[in-house]
Amino acid sequence: MSHHFSLNTVVILLSAIFFLSAESDHSPPFSCDPSNPSTKSLPFCNAQLPIGSRAKDLVSRLTLDEKALHGVSRHGKGVSFNGTVTAATMFPQVILAAASFDSQLWYRIAQAIGDEARAVFNVGQGKGMTFWAPNINIFRDPRWGRGQETPGEDPLVAGEYGVAYVRGMQGDSFGGGHLKDGHLKASACCKHYTAHDLDNWNGVTRYVFDAIVSKQDLADTYQPPFRACVEQGQASSIMCAYNRVNGIPSCADYDLLTKTARQQWGFQG
């Protein structure tokens, strides 16, 4: 079967091809492309300038539509309570706060949480002053649904975060060692001890998961945050993990709970 195209059809097709080609050739350049003279000289691309100056320059170049594009729509009400106290301050997810590498910030956040927790308790609305935070598990896999609760994948950062958080929540000074009369503002709980980062995956739940971990990996990766939490932060409580570690349930592991936490680290809670 033969196909016949009119001259007009051919002209239209060629015009469309030319137009699309021209559009692709004139697509917007990538911001701060060092190989593009028109973008590399923009002030907001200059890493030597102060952050505030760069942000101001960038925003000044956005249209109103572009500025509105990056807003976050309302996702519903935050946490609320029934009673005299109806709400509490909402802070960024831990994974975001930890990315600031600002231990003073972590301390102040925990201070505020501890203050509000004590206030709720003082008016008779709360029961108990033990709070299940911080979560200092190592975030190894982005598929873990609770990874945003943790400081991330780095044991040092997780440990520093845990220490700052515990001191802030419990009413200690930023540098530690200054609890008023040894009394806690609130009880911080470092969790989940240890080698925990799975809740439900491929038919395996956190209640039956068995983490097979070498002594070196325990010492280098999984234990340092908890050790810092106890030795430096003086955490008043630890939450054992749901899972097993090398075949033994964490909450029944004498080596982890007694020999390591209490005898080696000096945990008193």
The CATH number of the domain holding residue 241 is: 3.20.20.300
User: Are 186 and 219 contained in the same domain?
Assistant: yes
Give pLDDT, residue 87.
87
Q: Same domain, yes or no, for 135 and 257?
A: yes
Same domain? For 134 and 240 the reply is yes
Tell whether 1 is covered by a domain: no
Instruction: Give me the torsion for CA of 41, 47, 52, 58, rounded to 10°.
Output: 40
- Residue 269 belongs to some domain of the structure: no
Verify that 58 and 171 share a domain, yes or no. no
Region of residue 49 (left: phi > 0; alpha: psi -120 to 50; beta: else): beta
Q: Is residue 183 domain-shared with residue 59, that is, in the same domain?
A: no
Exposure b/e, 140-150, CB count within 10 A at least 16 = b: beeebeebebb
Same domain, 116 and 235: yes
What is the value of pTM for the model shown? 0.74
Q: Answer yes or no: do 132 and 250 share one domain.
A: yes
Lowest mean pLDDT across 33-37, 70-74, 202-206, 222-226: 70-74
Average pLDDT of the chain, as a whole number? 89
Answer yes or no: is 35 within a domain.
yes
Same domain, yes or no: 53 and 146: no
pLDDT over threshold 70, residue 20: no
**Residue 248 parent element (H or E):** strand 248-249
Share of the chain above pLDDT 70, in %: 88
pLDDT at 121 over 60: yes
Tell the residue number behind the tokens 């890493």, with chain if given.
47
Could you give the CA distance from residue 31 to residue 66 in angstroms, rounded to a whole number? 14
Return the sign of the alpha-carbon dihedral for residues 153, 154, 155, 161: negative
- Say how many domains are in the chain: 2
Q: Is pLDDT above 80 for 14? A: no
Residue 11 lies in a domain: yes
> Are residues 111 and 62 both part of a single domain?
no
Predicted local distance difference test score (pLDDT) of residue 30: 75
Classify residue 79: in a domain, yes or no: no
What pLDDT is stored for residue 64 in this prediction? 92
> How many Å is the maximal CA-CA distance in the chain?
97
Burial class (CB in 10 A: 0-12, 13-18, 19+), 174: middle
pLDDT score of 214 more than 90:
yes
Q: Which range has highest mean pLDDT (74-78, 84-88, 181-185, 192-196)?
A: 192-196
3-state helix, strand, coil in the chain (%, to 5): 45, 10, 45
Cα–Cα distance for residue pair 137/145, rounded to 1 Å: 13
Q: Are residues 223 and 119 in the same domain?
A: yes
Is it the case that residue 212 has pLDDT exceeding 90?
yes
Distance CA 86, CA 69 (A): 32
Residue 81, in any domain of the structure: no
122 domain residue, yes or no: yes
Cβ atoms 179, 188 nearer than 8 A: no
Domain span at 167: 94-264
Which of 2-11, 98-107, 231-240 is predicted least confidently? 2-11
Is residue 77, in this structure, part of any structural domain at all?
no
pLDDT the model gives residue 164: 98
Residue 160 and residue 234 in one domain? yes
Give 205's strand partners: 200
What per-residue confidence (pLDDT) applies to 182? 75
Q: What percent of the chain has pLDDT over 90?
A: 67
Q: Does one domain contain both 144 and 198?
A: yes
